[in-house]
Homo-oligomer: A and B are copies of this chain.
Amino acid sequence: MSTSALTTSCPTSQPETEHVRLGHGSGGQLMAELLREVIAPALGGAELVEDAAALDLGPARVVLTTDSFVVTPRFFPGGDIGALAVHGTINDLAMRGARPVALCLAYVLEEGLPIEELRRITTSVADASRAAGVPVVTGDTKVVERGGADGIYLTTTGLGVPTADADPSARGARPGDLVLLSGPIGLHGTAILSAREGLGFEAEIASDTRPLHRLVAAMLAAGGRGVHALRDPTRGGLASALTEIAAASAVGVELVEADLPVPPPVAAACDLLGLDPLQVANEGCLVAVVDPAVAPAVLDAMRARPEGASAVVVGRVVDDPAHRVRARTLVGSHRVVDVLVGEQLPRIC
């Protein structure tokens, strides 16, 4: 491979041995390069476009997804690393239109972690799993010496079964489709950052972490195969989610900035920190690309559930040979919505 692809974010730096950088975990451009240049070529056929893989087992079809969670702090307004892992994995299955069936849980524990924290986090995993109706069926525990990890890392893997008569995919968007958003953006990322840095927004901003599989089931029941693409905009935010859909579907996306639901405390925190709310991680909302014929029914189904009560149309899919995501600004011009290059908020999930 060419070494240049991995160093585009610092074009003036001296040639050097390549090393993993924090930006490689960003969900943005650097991470995409690491996957494209290093991991995917070595692995051959691994699925990179979707966050979950569909498998044909002969009599049955299943969907698999896996994610490690390294968020810091481990406990934050609105949730903790345990609930986040359960929700994140359930949501990755749901975005492929799968009904989550079972979870696996693997811990890497740092020597010295208070047992009480392990118990609290495991209880949170169990509570989230029970509330979602998706059991943890197997697990593993490893311990590393002091300094070999930061307290606790979790890896959750989810198994799901596809919903009949639905097949949402990042490749499914078509010009003319509407872009729906299930709720406000920017809460998780700003909640974590505020808790970590003591910015004082903790009273106003809580993570939106929650399971979205029931919302998705309602949407698929209402819209069926008219629901073309689903994505939970986690690392890299709405910008990364829509950019990935645009690239995979070979289309453009036009957002209307005034229609994006950014809660005032999130807007204030982003102003203070110089962040674009479109690039901030979410853990409890989804973006859907749907056929305009079914959009009203899907929107109604979303609004009938608490997770989708404030669902809105935020844009539409257009023909664009450059596969750009653009936003019509408040003053009527258009700006290109970029993905992050490197790391905005390390260890956000």
Contacts and interface: CB of A to CB of B under 8 A. Distances in A.
A54 to B, nearest CB: 9
A138 B46 contact: yes
Interface string A121-164: 01101100110000111111111110111100101010101000
Interface stretch (A103-111, A170-178, A287-295): A103-111
Given A60-B59, A68-B107, A159-B159, A143 B113 contact: no
Contacts of A123: 42
A62 to B, nearest CB: 7
17 contacts: A17-B115, A20-B109, A20-B110, A20-B114, A22-B111, A25-B143, A38-B119, A43-B126, A47-B137, A57-B101, A62-B159, A64-B102, A65-B104, A68-B108, A70-B142, A108-B108, A155-B157
A300 interface: no
B137 A53 contact: yes
B104 A64 contact: yes
A17 to B, nearest CB: 6
Contacts of A268: none
Contacts of A43: 105, 122, 125-126, 129, 136, 139
Q: Which 4 A-B pairs have the closest CB atoms?
A: A25-B143, A60-B60, A155-B155, A66-B104
Contacts of A50: 138
Interface residues of A, number: 85
A68 B112 contact: no
A159 B18 CA distance: 34
Contact of A66 (B65, B113, B157): B157
Given A39-B122, A119-B42, A62 B66 contact: no
A57 B140 CA distance: 23
A321 interface: no
A101 B57 CA distance: 8
Contacts of A138: 46-47, 50-53, 64-66
B62 A62 contact: yes
Interface in A56-74: 57-60, 62, 64-70
A25 B43 CA distance: 30
A21 interface: yes
Nearest to A120: B42
Contacts of A347: 142, 144-145, 148
A138 B35 CA distance: 12
A142 B25 contact: yes
A44 B122 CA distance: 10
A346 interface: yes
B346 A44 contact: no
A118 B69 CA distance: 19
Contacts of A102: 53, 55, 64
